[in-house]
Amino acid sequence: MKEQLQRLFDECLSEATDEEVLIMKQLLEGVKRKRENENGSIIGGIFAMDREVRDGQFEISIPISPVTHNSLQIVHGGVTATLVDTAMGTLANMLLPEGYGAVTTNLNVHYLAPGKGDRLTAHANVIHQGSKTIVVDGKVVSSNGKVVAHSTGSFFIFKKTQ
């Protein structure tokens, strides 16, 4: 398998444009970040997600790059949805006691502007925390301050199995 991958990598690299080289670099750095952070996800690694708690709310930001682009050279809507779902879901899980987890049961994303600039940042705030569900509000903002998307998510709380 490693030999096949090496041949594919060599073939792709030998014919790659500058943009494709940047994409391969970001993907490989993402795998490396995942390996270094056992609790992180491969998605978080590939998108180079930075996480921060600021002023009582949770934030995740990503650089805008060719990896995040759609065919119109703006951030793909699925990347925006992944970013805000990750921010809201991470916040929901941070609030739970040891041994419990939360998973998305409903995600609504309202796209308001194209994802352009240097970075996108998702902000998450809890609207309601019950014993079975958590409802979270989220928004995604570009580096120029433009709100790109507004979102709400519902998260089901469950007891983890050992």
Residue with tokens 């930001």: 61
* 22, 62: one domain: no
pLDDT tens digit string along 15-50?
A: 899 988 988 888 888 888 888 876 678 888 889 898
* 30, 107: one domain: no
Length of the chain: 162
DSSP-assigned states of every residue in 127-156: EEE-SSEEEEEEEEEETTS-EEEEEEEEEE
Q: Which long-range contacts (C-beta less than 8 Å, at least 24 apart) are formed by 1-7?
A: none
* 35, 81: one domain: no
Q: How far apart are the first and last CA of the chain?
A: 32
Residue type, 132: K
pLDDT tens digit string along 42-100?
A: 888 889 898 888 776 789 999 999 999 999 999 999 999 999 999 999 999 999 999 99
Is the pTM higher than 0.85? The answer reads yes
